[in-house]
Structure 1
Amino acid sequence: MADPEPEENISGGESGGGRAATFDPSTAATRAEAVVDRLGEMYWTKTYGGRPAFECLVRTILSQNTSDKASQPAHDSLMERYGGSEARSASDSPAGEGTDPRADDGDLAATLAEADQQTLAETISSAGLYNQKSERIIAIAQLVCEAYGGADDFDEFVREADPDEVRDRLLEMNGVGPKTADCVLLFAGGRGGVFPVDTHVHRIARRMGLAPADADHETVREYIERDVPPEKCGFGHTAMIQFGREYCTARKPACLDDPEACPLADQCAQVGVYPATGDVVDPAEAPE
């Protein structure tokens, strides 16, 4: 069966290392778990893991402060130029055209550690903030090579080391915040119980009342990881992002005009959403 998760999700869809999984929605012990189960029924239930850790780190950096529509072409262009002969053979461009000859060693970290910053910036320009991101990617690639010996050993560290240690090491990297670190732990390391919090998850969890209205990203993560079983956190994260794109948007959630238009209306506290007046505010600004 075809993977229903779209390629533009940060996990990479069918190519992102995820695999279909089955869960029983009737066993939900918390409202947050019930929400995640419903999202799974709407979209997909998967477990994650298996993405190359360094590539996953780079992909997530490219996604920062921009849309998937913008970051996906940047990732594809980066991999075509720097990702080695395997990536080039899968591309539509002639072999060797527009690629870095050092990519033949197959180690993405080693190649990017020696990349020309201006050339990398031009390669990833569709992602926005390309000068800043190119500098960060090169610096992190150099750190990965110095500290771990390259992409393969870094991948092993992410998969095998204590998750708290991995998260701490990732957060020490310039430009890597909690969401980026958690995405690497989830999609590369396959770590259960990790629920990355992006802008969609942050908004939806507070709007639905799954976390305090004034919770920051880390507090939202703590509440959800407390209330959702570890094996459901992965698809809960990606499916909630899709729900945020389709239904619970920032400015005009589906329930604003039609309460029955949202498939999760019965689970939502509508914090900051006022259908009677048509107003929508950040949950933190909603009167108690």
Structure 2
Amino acid sequence: MTDEPAENISGGETGGGRFDAFEPGDASRAEAIIDRLGDRYWQKTYGGQPAFECLVRTVLSQNTSDKASQPAHDALLERYGEGDLAKNLADAAQPELADTIASAGLYNRKSETIIRLAERIVEAYGSAREFDAYVKDTEPDSVRKTLLDMKGVGPKTADCVLLFAGGRSGVFPVDTHVHRIARRMGLAPKTADHEAVRECLEAAIPGEKCGFGHTAMIQFGREFCSARKPACLEGPEACPLEDLCDQVGVYPEDGEVVDPSEAPDFTA
């Protein structure tokens, strides 16, 4: 079992930590995998986190672990969180912000990105509150396009804002774990980039299951399907999804593991 909190990690009134029961589906192997991950970990709705705070938190998490980014997030809120966060960060001195978020790594680059994003949001929306309303009330594709137009915001960051702040159905953010696992299992082509993996998953999985599918797949990657030593190397009984996995790039018979993109093609 995981240390996933009983309360919705995104907080707020929209998600509210409410667990939803979903009926198992049989429309696709991808859905069957998500159903099994939901049984093992959690099934819940997401949404309600303030959009700008979610954006900042996702920037802090880039290229580092939650253990490293969480103290940086807490320190940032302690120093700049009183009043309007976007306005406060737009006016922040970059060296001071960099020192505040140092535990997250790449603090000079991240501090510059956060200040730039804050300035743009204040200029375009006036405040963090108005930006939050835009994210939650505007058509998702339009919000995603707007976010991707911001320097320093990539597809995963945009999708995390849509999911954790907007609570949008049908959004499946793709991080390193999801990208690896989806291709290893054969849910996406072995050479698919992050965007192609996202498109495959969102097409195959019901919208209401994408949110917990994303977080549960990350947990599964940490516990079972790691990059170098997936559990299936220890035998089929070691992995709870072994019967649903194509094991692309994983060769239990000789213990070899390569990125799915490097796996040879096999023809009948």
- TM-score interval for Structure 1 and Structure 2 normalised by the shorter chain: over 0.9
Q: Give the corresponding residue for 1:19.
A: 18
Distance (Å, rounded) in 2 between the aligned partners of 1:242 and 1:53: 24
Alpha-carbon separation, structure 2, partners of 1:39 and 1:13: 19
Q: Counterpart of 2:99?
A: 122
Give CA deviations for 1:59-116 in whole Å, capped at 9, x if unaligned: 00001111111111111111111111xxxxxxxxxxxxxxxxxxxxx11001101011
Q: Which amino acid is the alignment partner of residue 91 of structure 2?
A: E
1:17 and 1:187 in contact (8 A); partners too: no
Partner of 1:283: 260
Instruction: Show the counterpart of 1:64.
Output: 62
- Partner residue of 2:41 out of 40, 43, 57: 43
The two structures have a TM-score, normalised by structure 2, of 0.94
1:241 to 214, 218, 225: 218
2:135 aligns with 158
Show structure 2 runs of 5+ residues with no match: none
Q: Does 1:182 align with 2:159?
A: yes
Q: Does residue 1:30 correspond to 2:9, yes or no?
A: no
| Residues 187 and 196 (structure 1), Cα distance of their counterparts in 2 relative to 1, 3 Å cut | same
User: 1:207 touches 1:268 (CA, 8 Å); kept in 2?
Assistant: yes
Q: Give the share of equivalent positions with the same residue, in percent.
A: 70
User: What is the correspondence of 1:121-270 to structure 2 with a 5 Å cutoff?
Assistant: 121-270=98-247
3-state DSSP of counterpart to 2:129: helix
Contact 1:6 1:13 (8 Å CA) reproduced:
no
Q: C-alpha displacement at 1:19, in angstroms?
A: 2.6
Task: Report the Cα offset of residue 162 of structure 1.
Answer: 1.0
Question: Any idea what SS the aligned residue of 1:252 has?
Answer: coil
**1:257 Cα deviation after fit:** 1.7
What amino acid is the match of 2:195? E
Task: For 1:215, give the aligned amino acid.
Answer: A
Check whether the contact 2:98–2:111 (CA below 8 A) recurs between aligned residues.
yes
Distance 2:157 2:205 in 1: 20
* Gap regions ≥5 residues in structure 1: 85-105
Maintained 8 Å contact 2:184/2:247: yes
In the alignment, is the contact (CA less than 8 A) between 1:4 and 1:44 conserved in 2? no
Question: Given residue 9 of structure 2, which amino acid in structure 1 is its aligned partner?
Answer: G
* TM superposition outliers: structure 1 runs of 4+ over 3 Å: 11-18
**Contact 1:49–1:186 (8 Å) recurs in 2:** yes
How many angstroms apart in 2 are the aligned matches of 1:51 and 1:117? 25
In structure 2, distance between residues paired with 1:17 and 1:202: 28
Q: What TM-score results when the alignment is normalised by the length of structure 1?
A: 0.88
Residue aligning to 2:88: 111
Query: How far did 1:280 drift?
Result: 0.4
Paired residue total: 261
Instruction: Name the CA distance, whole Å, in 1 between partners of 2:122 and 2:148.
Output: 17
Q: Give the RMSD, CA atoms, in angstroms.
A: 1.6
d(CA) in 2 for partners of 1:136 and 1:169? 16
